[in-house]
Chain A
Amino acid sequence: MNSPLESNVLFLLGPVPITQAIVTTWAIMVVLVLGAFLLTRRLDLRPSRRQAALELLVATLDAQITETTGASPKPYRGFIGTLFLFVLIANWSSLLPGIEPPTARLETDAALALLVFLSVIWFGIRAGGVGGWLKSFAAPNPVMIPLNMLESVTRVFSMFVRLFGNVMSGVFVIGIVASLAGLLVPVPLMALDLLTGLVQAYIFAVLALAFITATVEDGQTKAPETAPAPKTALAPSPTNKDT
């Protein structure tokens, strides 16, 4: 067994090494996009079971976003929902024989953490402007600025490490057990890995949403007069209706 900390380069695309995780990610992207396209081809006012399941997924995600942010879910739905689906499918891809989940690799988890870090900045500036985003580090008072700046990095780093550690360890343990005890013994561990993958995907998405919400709220409460008007309405909406 290779070291879980080393990537298996399949081929080079110019100077760029294409690892198995990247190829698996591409496959997951194709599956998700094609699946989404096929599932959402005929959406009607009278929903089928398929459409009802899709709407249940979206409605649940919107409810989760609304409960966490207290604002309309529209600006966050695409990013948070895609993070959740990608991490979930990536985690569960370990069930396919010969497939190593991309989230069991440092690059993928680091990339996801980097996107969360950037999204916090993006949504913070979008909601309160640059000044509002910068002043969000002064919450609850300017003394906390160094700690807040350090926290903005460490919390994302902790997400990255948590996801990598859980997924990688699960894959590693299953690999070890499978190599030692045959085919049936790893099944309970694989089932546990399913649960772990779901929980990790949920935690990753909810933490990302919580970080974004904290930055947006801090930026708005600290600089309500100097910050430009937010491009999106973040006030609690009576309905979740958006297009």
Chain B
Amino acid sequence: MTLDVWGLGLQAVNVLILVWLLGRVFWRPVAGAIARRQDVAQAMLDEGKTAQAKANAALHDVTTTRAGMVQEREDILAEARATAEAARKVALAEAQAKADALMEAAKTSIARETETARKENAARASELSIDIAAKLLDQLATPLVQAAFLAQLVKAITGMSASDRAALVNTTSDLTLVVATDLADAEKARIEREVAEALGGAPQLQFVTEPDLIAGLELRSAHFVLKNSWRADLERILKELKDAA
């Protein structure tokens, strides 16, 4: 067995050359391609991380903005509630005032109408009572009542001043004695005599019958009326009742 030294050296050189050549044309290019891909992948990862960071920042901003919007919404709602509450109170106060005014006006109107109705009722009651009284008094028109009215007439004439009585006596127009019922001639003469005595003269007297007097005796001229009857009394009472009402 022999070892070819030339062959050993040549093979060693061959393998060294092969190591160098493959390093140039195979190992380095392929490793470079792997490294480039790793660089690109790392760059993409870095870019992704950067984008992730930006997205997180944007998300944080959006979250903050949304929280601010929520707070702003709450503030707006609270302000709107406060405004609505104030408006409600104002409207309620205005409505209350209007209602109070309406109630006051209604009360006033009701009071006025009530007063008016009361007065009307009182007037009607007075008239009714006067009518009732007239009907009742009409049944009492007796000669005694007639004599009492005559006495009152004479008394009233007597109470007049002398000038007034003289004016009545000297009046150019006729003096009228109004009675409620037709009288007998004797009664008329007695009344005429007592009236003339009270006047102090001899006036021209004429008798007129007016049932409305109910009972009584009135002296009338063109410019003078001496009321002396139940009718006049009732009208006076009615007037006083109306005035009192």
Q: What residues make up the interface of A, taking CB atoms closer than 8 Å to B?
A: 5-7, 15-19, 21-22, 25-26, 29, 32-33, 36-37, 39-40, 43-45, 47, 51, 54-55, 57-59, 62, 74, 77-79, 81-83, 85-86, 102, 105-108, 110-112, 114-115, 239, 241-243
A112 to B16, CA, bound (A): 9
Q: A242 touching B3 by the CB < 8 A rule? A: no
Q: A243 touching B19 by the CB < 8 A rule? A: no
Q: A45 touching B11 by the CB < 8 A rule? A: no
User: In the complex, which residues of chain B have a beta carbon less than 8 angstroms from the beta carbon of A107?
Assistant: 3-4, 7-8, 10-11
Given known pairs A15-B6, A17-B6, A77-B31, the reply for A22 and B11 (CB within 8 Å) is: yes
Within B1-34, the residues touching A (CB, 8 Å) are 1-4, 6-12, 14-23, 25-34
User: In the complex, which residues of chain B have a beta carbon less than 8 angstroms from the beta carbon of A36?
Assistant: 21-22, 25-26
Nearest residue (CB) in A for B14 is A25
Q: A43 touching B29 by the CB < 8 A rule? A: yes
Interface residues contributed by chain B, number (CB under 8 Å): 37
User: In the complex, which residues of chain B have a beta carbon less than 8 angstroms from the beta carbon of A32?
Assistant: 18, 21-22, 26
User: In the complex, which residues of chain A have a beta carbon less than 8 angstroms from the beta carbon of B11?
Assistant: 21-22, 25, 102, 107-108, 110-112
Interface centre among A37, A81, A107 (most CB of B within 10 A): A107
Interface centre among B4, B27, B34, B39 (most CB of A within 10 A): B27
User: Pick the contact of A111 from B15, B25, B26, B38 — CB < 8 Å?
Assistant: B15
Nearest residue (CB) in A for B34 is A55
A111 to B38, CA, bound (A): 37
Q: A33 touching B21 by the CB < 8 A rule? A: yes
Q: A85 touching B22 by the CB < 8 A rule? A: yes
Judged by DSSP, the binding face of B is: helix
Q: B33 touching A47 by the CB < 8 A rule? A: yes
User: Pick the contact of B17 from A18, A29, A112 — CB < 8 Å?
Assistant: A29
B57: interface (CB < 8 Å): no
User: 29 A-B Cβ contacts within 8 A?
Assistant: A5-B1, A7-B4, A16-B6, A17-B7, A21-B11, A29-B14, A29-B18, A32-B21, A36-B21, A43-B32, A43-B33, A45-B37, A55-B33, A58-B34, A59-B34, A62-B31, A78-B22, A81-B27, A83-B19, A86-B15, A105-B7, A107-B8, A110-B3, A111-B14, A112-B11, A241-B34, A243-B31, A243-B32, A243-B35
Smallest distance from the beta carbon of A120 to chain B beta carbons, Å?
A: 15
Q: A82 touching B15 by the CB < 8 A rule? A: yes
B73: interface (CB < 8 Å): no
User: Pick the contact of A22 from B7, B25, B38 — CB < 8 Å?
Assistant: B7
User: Pick the contact of B30 from A58, A74, A83, A86 — CB < 8 Å?
Assistant: A58
A64 to B1, CA, bound (A): 37
Smallest distance from the beta carbon of A11 to chain B beta carbons, Å?
A: 13
Nearest residue (CB) in B for A46 is B37
> 9 smallest A-B Cβ distances: which pairs?
A36-B26, A107-B7, A111-B11, A78-B23, A111-B12, A43-B33, A82-B19, A40-B29, A5-B1
User: In the complex, which residues of chain A have a beta carbon less than 8 angstroms from the beta carbon of B21?
Assistant: 29, 32-33, 36
User: In the complex, which residues of chain B have a beta carbon less than 8 angstroms from the beta carbon of A58?
Assistant: 27, 30-31, 34
Q: A111 touching B9 by the CB < 8 A rule? A: yes
Q: A106 touching B31 by the CB < 8 A rule? A: no
Nearest residue (CB) in B for A102 is B11
Q: B12 touching A114 by the CB < 8 A rule? A: yes
Q: B25 touching A37 by the CB < 8 A rule? A: yes
